[in-house]
Amino acid sequence: MIGTKGTVVAVNGNMVSVRFDGAVSMNEVGFVKLGDKKLKSEVIRIRGDISQLQVFEVTKGISVGDSVEYSGDMLAVEVGPGLLGQVYDGLQNPLPKLAAVAGNFLERGVYLDPLSVDISWAFTPVAKVGDTVERADTLGTVPEGAFTHRIMVPFNLYGTYTIASIKGAGSYTIRDTIAELKDEKGNTIPVTMSFRWPVKRPIDCFVERYKPTEPMVTRVRLIDTFFPVARGGTYCIPGPFGAGKTVLQQITSRYADIDIVILAACGERAGEVVETLKEFPELTDPKTGKSLMERTIIICNTSSMPVASREASVYTAVTLAEYYRQMGLNVLLLADSTSRWAQAMREMSGRLEEIPGEEAFPAYLESTIASFYERAGTVRLRDGSIGSVTIGGTVSPAGGNFEEPVTQATLKVVGAFHGLSRERSDARKFPAIHPLDSWSKYKGIIAAEKVGYAHGFMRRGSEVEQMMKVVGEEGTSIEDYVIYLKGDLIDSVYFQQNSFDAVDAAVSPDRQKHIFAILLHILASQFTFPDKNEARSWFNRLRQKFLDFNGSEWQSERFVSLQKEIESTVSAQSTGLDKAAEKVLA
């Protein structure tokens, strides 16, 4: 339905200024008419009878005097069965269908239905005629892949309603009316399987929000043990280009203990996005044995696409994540990379002639980033079920400078920081998370005091390494050198994982605890060596045994045999345990 109309009075890049006559709201969708095409846009500022709109398409050809039609609706997404396995752009256009219609070079002004109107879904009613319901209450269910998709009362229906009629079990499309509700005034409201929700408005149909406490197991040792992520929490992965952000995200999305994965490629380079689109359908989901895409949604906006769509892709992704959280599911949202989104905000802020903040980013950069991460959380729904949205965002600071505004603004709101290091990446250490710069506020799978004791060897070993760069190995005492070797051991056999090894690529929590206990005993053991060469040789042999141990099947004969070899090797060399470690080992 078309509401207010206007006329273009100025064009500045992807921003157009429009004089309108009537009522216009912030974040309202407008369409700029260009010949026989209508280019979608969003109102981002209103001054008197002039509104500024950011256009989600290339604005070439738009000129003063062109007409604009305001829709009267906010920028929104359509939610319902059929979202899983889809690849969308930031405006929720299904890209495979868009390519089939427009070809490999996408045309402007082509907008398709995000959900198929032809697929029939096997609907099973849960509610019955006469029941009293509120928004987000379940009317029925349909199977969607491995999940039970709840057909809910639309979130924009506030108040109490009575079910006047509801369809019986059968096959229906998302456009079929499956129930009729009556409000308190007696008005009848038809309900279908799908509805729309504004992307800038958080979905708040829950009873209570909980503090994130339960670890989200990723099966990456360095993360789960030392820098854990909580289910329903937030974390960021800043790092220079090529340090392994995308690879780490793919490993996490495959093995993390969650139900739904949503990837938001908000401005990443086209090559990396293409790699993701090619690999994900071919990846086997370890949970189901089927394609990982069956529980994944990809929101794709590359750096070569209009910058305004980067912001739309972020909000589209988090809205879809919140929708599945309303079904009591655990959702992981990975945004790659929020730096591109921030650059889009900076570009638009400059065109609005706003007073710039640090490095020309808008002054509201921190509050905008915070409002995005605040949409994560673990919530209790009205039926008592628990759902969560965990948000992990990558940041691509120029030159790996973590002091730049986007990284600093992100660090103020997230609960865990996985800083990637160019040095570790160049040394082929995966994951390239720096063990001294990174941190986490969450509880992990292993007691904090034990983790702190082990992490101390990494820190002290790094100090000894820096000292050796100045005075040389010969100027270092044998005691300090052993501390350095212990730190190097934990780095080599626990921090690093072989993502190409079928066993070591993903490590279960039980195995992590088991290996960590063995390693902790080694760190607490005291060793006496005649010289540094003997110490280095002994630790190298032990490290190789541990690497073989990491590649052996859990609790297999080889696993047990290698563990005995490691324990006998340590026992033969050890002169006792460090007294300070006895309490930690207890």
- Tell the CATH topology of 207-440: Rossmann fold (3.40.50)
Q: Encoding tokens for residue 140?
A: 């029925």
Known binder of ligand: residue 245?
A: yes
What integer pLDDT is reported at residue 363 of this predicted model?
94
DSSP 212: P
CATH class of 448-585: mainly alpha
Beta bridge pairs of residue 407:
none
CATH for 5-75, among 2.40.10.170, 2.40.50.140, 3.40.50.2020, 3.40.1360.10? 2.40.10.170
Known binder of ligand: residue 239?
A: yes
Our CA dihedral for 162, 165, 171, 177, rounded to 10 degrees, sits at -80
Known binder of ligand: residue 580?
A: no
CATH class of 121-193: mainly beta
Q: Encoding tokens for residue 315?
A: 């909000």
3-class SS letters over 254-310: HHCCCCEEEEEEECCCHHHHHHHHHHHHHCECCCCCCEHHHHEEEEEECCCCCCHHH
Tokens 């309202």 correspond to 28
Burial letters for 219-251: b for 16+ Cβ neighbours within 10 Å, e otherwise?
bbbbbbbbbbbbbbbbbbbbbbeebbbbebbbb
How far is Cα 313 from Cα 300, in angstroms, rounded to an integer?
A: 7
- Reported pTM: 0.94
In angstroms, what CA-CA distances link 293 with 67, 145, 277, 475?
Answer: 41, 10, 10, 56
What integer pLDDT is reported at residue 514 of this predicted model?
96
How far is Cα 168 from Cα 416, in angstroms, rounded to an integer?
A: 47
Instruction: Check: CB of residue 432 under 8 Å from CB of residue 497.
Output: no
How far is Cα 115 from Cα 93, in angstroms, rounded to an integer?
A: 9
What integer pLDDT is reported at residue 1 of this predicted model?
45
Give the pLDDT confidence of 189-223 residue by residue, as tens digits.
999 999 999 999 999 999 999 999 999 999 999 99
**Regions of the chain with pLDDT less than 70:** 1-2, 268-272, 302-305
SS3 71: strand
In angstroms, what CA-CA distances link 378 with 129, 235, 294, 317, 392?
Answer: 32, 15, 23, 17, 15
What integer pLDDT is reported at residue 167 of this predicted model?
97
Contacts of 25 (CB under 8 A, 6+ apart): 43, 74
Beta bridge pairs of residue 147:
144
The structural domains of the chain, with segments of one domain joined by +, span 5-75, 121-193, 207-440, 448-585
| Helical axes 270-279 vs 245-255, angle rounded to 10° | 20
Known binder of ligand: residue 243?
A: yes
What integer pLDDT is reported at residue 267 of this predicted model?
73
Residue 392: Cβ within 10 Å count: 27
Known binder of ligand: residue 22?
A: no
DSSP 474: G
